[in-house]
Amino acid sequence: MIENQGRRIGDNSDPAPYDFGGAWQPSEIELTRRVARRKRNQRNALIAAGSSAVVIGSLIVVLVTSPGWIALRDTFFKWAYGVEILPKILLGFTTNMTLTVIAGSSVAIIGLMIALIRTSRTPALTPFRFLAMIYVDVFRGIPMLLVILLIGFGVPALQLKGVTNNVLVLGTIAVIITYSAYVAEVIRSGILTIHPSQRAAARSLGLSHFQTLRFVVLPQAIKRVTPPLLNDLVALIKDTGLISILGVTDAVRAAQIQTAKTFNYTPYVMAACVFLAVTIPLTRATDRMLRRTLERQNAQGQA
Amino acid sequence: MKKLFKLIPFFLVALVLTACSAAEETATESTTDEAVICAPESLETLTPGVLTIATGEPAYYPWVIDDAPESGQGFEAAVAYAVAAQLGYDQAAVTWVRTTFDAAIAPGPKTFDINLQQYSITDQRREVVDFSSPYYKANQTIISFKGSKLDGVTTLQGVADAGAKLGAAVGTTSLEVIESAFGLSPAVYNDNAAGVTALKNQQIDGLVVDLPTAFYLAAVEIPDGIIVGQIEGSDASDQGFGLLLAKSSPITSCVTQAVDAIRSSGELANITSQWLADSAGAPVLQ
Amino acid sequence: MSTPVLRVEKLRKTFGSEIVLQDISFTVPEHTATVFIGASGSGKSTLLRCINLLDQIDDGVIKLDDHDISGADIDPDEVRKKLGMVFQSFNLFPHMTVLENITLAPTKVQKVKNEAAIHEAFELLDRFGLKEKADQYPDRLSGGQQQRVAIIRSIARHPRLLLLDEITSALDPVLVNEVLSTVRDLKGEGMTMVLATHEMGFAKQVANEVCYLHAGRILEWGAPTAILEDPKHPETREFIKRVHEAGRL
């Protein structure tokens, strides 16, 4: 029995409400707790800073005092030289970016089409479903470099009439074919994870199969797979560098040409920085988006 | 506050990378021994008593016949064995390895004692590798196919005006010639093989290679291949083909002496006329 | 006597070797509500799914307004334009606002003009006290509000028959009442309904007829007071007794 101002649990005999006193002030106990917590937080921050300084500091010291450091720095990080050749690399990078935009938008459309074919149930589409499955398996299983060589060099060797032998076009086609297979699978998995109850509700409202897909399933599926799709976009940006093997001068090749002249590898580092300048913001944006989606999802059902 | 601490590592790394080093780079001095005996017992090769020679993969005609340098057939194969014999290595004491063109020029330790695959001696390359004295000199040459934009072109200006797409392998003097002689932007390939493929596919109008290779490719590899012409003046900056060795290699002076010896004895001229006789007589673009 | 809106004759449904429903026969006259009660697994939800053609029946006939809707060559989409179904898990479309949820089917299926559909949606929301939620997304609504929106969504198309499948089973008791009063209002407006439920409040306040389902058969049926207060069949007695003990009556 808890003694508290003479009242017992469950005692509803006194109709007067509990006396809550005036506006709330923190009690002595709470104040002491706060002081202790503040002290502990400060101590933790100091430990974190100290530990970082010691570990990072010693890593840097080890790096800088190691015998090869000067050579390393001059071979990879000659900034003056790097800045001098940066315009050439940026020029090559415009090729990478153009390719990314063209391939990216084509892949989105083609990948979606293939995903829809694979998730369809119409009997008339059966041969296409089968072909789509083979296509996806094959092009997710071959290294993209091979595809680029096959299409960029191999197709022109056939000397087919009316088929271009322009390496930029062929290289772009190779990239599109390969990435569509990946994106198709990502979208398809997104569609499959939409709970059947959504489809049941849509059909119960009288929506046709196609309308259900278009208004209910696809919007949710695409939203769900946006983070992995953005990952694929980052991968695409990097993989555009592979078409340099066909003789296209992109950022990678531009760096390679410089390096072959001077035997200094700073151009490669500059090219890497250029790629990172685009890919890092994208990955951070993807992370933020993913975090927000998870927060939303986990908060649902608490209303 | 916590966020600031998280950024400290990045600041530190950036600081180090951009800091100017106080210590100056010490110039590497090459040690040249005087009066070294150039014989297998005293030459510091990778494997004592064995001369490891490298060439390209694959090695083309007329430099090597049938991609088999061990046979001694082919211009560079013959030169290699001649130099080896001069140094005192018989045929059994020579081992062949393969490398790519640009892997050998790159600074760093080598898997060979000598490398020969049509390396032009340039000052820039001299900073990172050693060269013997030259054993051959030839102009850069443009090859093409019948009916291309370059078919019938006879002058340097004509090439520039034709709006043709020229290709070359990365890191070669052929590539530099395209830019310096024509100011055109080239299609750059990882190696000559890729460039040949592109020319066959008519994805480029012309490929720039050295003269003997041009003869071979135009005659054998490219359907309806033609030699457009040698690029006049391209051999001015080019100091000729030299045997490539690691920077400050202990055997460089001996190898250079060997090359000089076979040149002055006339053996080099014999080898040249034996293997490269049909590589003369291409038109010169001026 | 006018044709009943729904007539079910000898419906049978099996899942593999398990018999879920057998010998189910009943009629639902216009403007009435038939409530199915029974333990979990007695087949209540399956029955509603069969009527809505979400599951295929193994025997029997289902007739809507005297048209056979269980035939082999029936287009389910056409049938479902006349039926409305509300589910236990609300199944609102999370990527659309409340208003968009409600206007989706009328505009896309019945080809109603956008402004007309919005207008009607607002009217319905107003009638059921949810007007200020029109532009919110479902995840900002309470469970009871979501279920009421789901109900509005299904009646926006003016179905002949409304099927309500355990619509309060996912709600806590406080929220059940608001849904119950919405259904009561619907009944008052003359909606023909079939309900499957644990919630005896529905049976008492809404039903014209209560059917007790046990092991896939309608064991007993009759007026709500009869079934709930004075059941004849021993199984029914047992069930009602257990409901009393659980304090749900």
Interface confidence, given as ipTM, is: 0.86
Tokens of A36: 């202790």
CB contact under 8 A, C95 and A220: yes
Q: What is the mean pLDDT of chain C?
A: 90
Q: Which fold has domain A84-266+275-280?
A: MetI-like fold (1.10.3720)
Alpha-carbon distance values, A76 to A191, A257, B103, B108 (Å): 46, 15, 17, 14
Q: How far apart are CA C132 and CA C141, in angstroms?
A: 11
Q: How confident is the model at residue A2 (pLDDT cuts 50, 70, 90)?
A: very low
Q: Tell me how many residue pairs between chain A and chain B have CB atoms under 8 A apart.
A: 91
**Where are the domains positioned within chain C?**
6-92+159-245
CB contact under 8 A, C108 and A215: yes
Q: How far apart are CA A106 and CA C137, in angstroms?
A: 32
- CA angle at residue B210 from B206 to B212, to 5 degrees? 110
| Residue A269 with chain B: CB contacts under 8 Å | none
Q: List pLDDT tens digits, range B51-85.
A: 999 999 888 888 999 999 999 999 999 999 999 99
Torsion of CA A34, A35, A37, A43, to 10 degrees: 160
CB contact under 8 A, A263 and B128: yes
Which runs of consecutive H residues, i.e. helices, occur in C52-158? 76-80, 98-108, 114-127, 143-155
Q: Are A45 and B5 in contact (CB under 8 A)?
A: yes
Q: How confident is the model at residue A97 (pLDDT cuts 50, 70, 90)?
A: very high
Q: How far apart are CA B245 and CA B114, in angstroms?
A: 5
Contacting A residues, span 31-90, partner chain C, CB-CB under 8 Å = none
Instruction: List beta partners, residue B115.
Output: B54, B244
Q: Look at domain C6-92+159-245 and name its CATH class.
A: alpha beta
Strand, coil or helix: what is A141?
Answer: helix
The residue of chain B with its CA nearest to that of A166 is: B203
Which residues, 6 or more positions from B20, have their beta carbon under 8 angstroms from its beta carbon?
A: none
Q: How confident is the model at residue A186 (pLDDT cuts 50, 70, 90)?
A: very high
Question: What is residue B20's predicted lDDT score, i.e. its pLDDT?
Answer: 43
| Residue A202 with chain C: CB contacts under 8 Å | 93
- Of C81, C93, C94, nearest to A206 by CB-CB distance is C81
- Ordered by where they begin, the domains of chain B are 51-137+239-285 (3.40.190.10), 140-237 (3.40.190.10)
Does residue A259 sit at the C interface (CB-CB below 8 Å)? no
Torsion of CA C3, C6, C8, C12, to 10 degrees: 160
Q: A: neighbours with 3+ CB pairs under 8 Å?
A: B, C
| Residue B125 with chain A: CB contacts under 8 Å | 263
Containing A173, the helix (H) or strand (E) segment is: helix A167-192
Helix, strand, coil content of chain C in percent (nearest 5)? 40, 25, 35
The residue of chain A with its CA nearest to that of C52 is: A204
Q: Are C48 and C26 in contact (CB under 8 A)?
A: no
Strands B284-285 and B187-189 come out as: unpaired
| Residue A53 with chain B: CB contacts under 8 Å | 8
User: Which residue numbers of A have CB closer than 8 Å to B's CBs?
Assistant: 45, 48-49, 52-53, 56-57, 60, 63-64, 70, 73-75, 77, 79, 153, 156-157, 165-167, 244-249, 253, 256-257, 260-263
| Residue C172 with chain A: CB contacts under 8 Å | none
Question: What is residue A12's predicted lDDT score, i.e. its pLDDT?
Answer: 61
- CA angle at residue A199 from A196 to A200, to 5 degrees? 85
Contacting A residues, span 147-206, partner chain C, CB-CB under 8 Å = 197-198, 200-206
Q: How far apart are CA B222 and CA C24, in angstroms?
A: 83
**Is the bond preceding residue C159 a cis peptide, omega within 30 degrees?**
no
Quick check: pTM over 0.80?
no
Q: What is the mean pLDDT of residues A36-55?
A: 95
Q: List pLDDT tens digits, range B109-124.
A: 889 999 999 998 888 8
CB contact under 8 A, A49 and B8: yes
CB contact under 8 A, B187 and A249: yes
Tens-digit pLDDT profile for chain B (286 aa)?
555 555 655 666 555 555 544 344 444 444 444 456 788 888 888 888 899 999 998 888 889 999 999 999 999 999 999 999 999 999 999 999 999 887 888 777 889 999 999 998 888 888 889 999 999 988 889 999 999 999 988 888 888 888 889 999 998 888 888 888 887 889 999 988 899 999 999 999 999 998 888 988 998 889 899 999 988 766 566 788 999 999 889 999 999 999 999 999 999 999 988 888 776 678 888 7
Q: List pLDDT tens digits, range B244-273.
A: 999 889 999 999 999 999 999 999 999 988
